Amino acid sequence: MKKTGKKIFFLGILLLLFAVGFLYGKNYYQPQKSVVMRVSMEREKIDYDLLAGMNYMQYLFRQNGYKVYETKYPGNFYFNEADNADVNVFVRAYNPFLDIRLKKNAFNICYLHRFTDVHEVEFNGYDYYSSAQHTFINFFDKRRQMTYFQGGAVPHEVLKPNYQYDVLYIYEYYAPEYENIVTQFNKHKLYGGMGFAALSEKERQDELARAKTVVYFSGFFKGDDTNYIPYAAYDIISYGRPLVTNLRESLVQKFGSDVYLFDTADDLGKVLVDALNESDKAREQRAQNARQKLLNTQEKTVFDFIK
């Protein structure tokens, strides 16, 4: 009888613990929120700057506890979980983008990257707007809620150099005078921004690791704020690669002499000669300094309205 009594006692304790655990979980369990990014242009038309920006945005959502579904492009099948995401980020390309899956019970964000125009149709349907350009924010300020999506990058692991090129040249806008400078160097590799973005993540890493210097030519897009630093530039810095890019005062303020800057095609040639004349150790140290400055200063939140 004593053994039976002990068994009943321990069984009662187990049942009590189970009941307490169940009630605690029922009352305190908070389902994970989810987000999906829906892009209005085909995958092969995404350039490196936009790809890096989207990757950074998704990283920040994850850091804030969100489940991030795979980015969806036009024509892709949207599975039920993605269609029922708590947050939809609609990434606008060249034309207005009002996807049919814009849900009233979800939080719908319109993200404008580097564009000079907006359309009246875009003032309807979205709950919030975001942009990398202050000009858009100022335009929307009195009409809709909007927030600035500031620059930054996924904190990548530092790439181990495997020198095969003196210069890896990635350009968002074709400018033959700049390309002519790069091709004067015996060891070089050229990519358009869309071509580089079309590579797999592993392929991009391999190409960046092969270069002594990485030239990112973003062009001088008339819609850019003067303080805009491309996400692609941040991405290259985050990998710990020596960056050579367009002169912007914001880059000087943020990274000082740890990033190589040029203003004209002739200037690019001189900057590359100077950079390649430095020792590999000195050039790589500059890249590590820039990476550390980036990691020390970038924000860890995503949007001010998401808690």
In this predicted model, what pLDDT tens digit does every residue of 234-291 receive, in sequence order?
Answer: 999 999 999 999 998 999 999 999 999 999 999 999 999 999 999 999 999 999 999 9
96 token code pair: 């207005």
pLDDT for position 204:
98
Q: What is the pLDDT of residue 142?
A: 61
**Residue 93 pLDDT:** 66
| Alpha-carbon span 289 to 90, nearest angstrom | 35
pLDDT at 306: 65
Q: Within 10 A of 270 (CB to CB), how many other CB atoms are there?
A: 12
Fold identical between 34-148 and 165-297?
yes
The DSSP call for residue 112 is E
Predicted local distance difference test score (pLDDT) of residue 9: 53
Cβ partners under 8 Å of residue 174, min gap 6:
192
Q: Which residues contact 16 (CB under 8 A, 6 or more apart)?
A: none
- What per-residue confidence (pLDDT) applies to 67? 93
Quick one: which of 149, 130, 132 has its CA closest to 140?
Answer: 130
CATH code of the domain occupying 165-297: 3.40.50.2000
Q: Note the pLDDT of residue 14.
A: 55
Give CA–CA dist 112/68, Å, rounded: 20
- H/E stretch holding 131: strand 128-131
Ranges of the chain whose pLDDT falls below 50: 1, 20, 22-30
pLDDT in tens, 110-141: 888 876 677 777 777 788 888 888 777 776 65
Helices in the chain by DSSP H: which ranges?
2-28, 48-63, 80-83, 134-140, 176-182, 193-198, 201-209, 231-238, 249-255, 265-277, 280-297
3-state secondary structure of 167: strand
Domain ranges of the chain: 34-148, 165-297
Q: What are the phi and psi torsion angles at 306 (to 5°)?
A: -105, 120
**Three-class DSSP category at 224:** coil
Percent of the chain whose pLDDT exceeds 70: 79
The CA distance from 59 to 76, in Å, is 22
Residues pairing with 217 in the sheet: 171
Q: Report residue 105: phi and psi, to 5°.
A: -90, 5
**Which fold, 34-148?**
Rossmann fold (3.40.50)
> Two tokens at 103?
């849900």
**CA–CA distance, 35 with 13 (Å, rounded to integer):** 41
Q: How far apart are CA 224 and CA 244, in angstroms?
A: 19
The pLDDT of residue 19 is 54
Exposure letters 202-229 (e unless 16+ CB within 10 A, then b): eebbebbbbbbbbbbbbbeeeebbeebb
Q: What is the pLDDT of residue 1?
A: 47
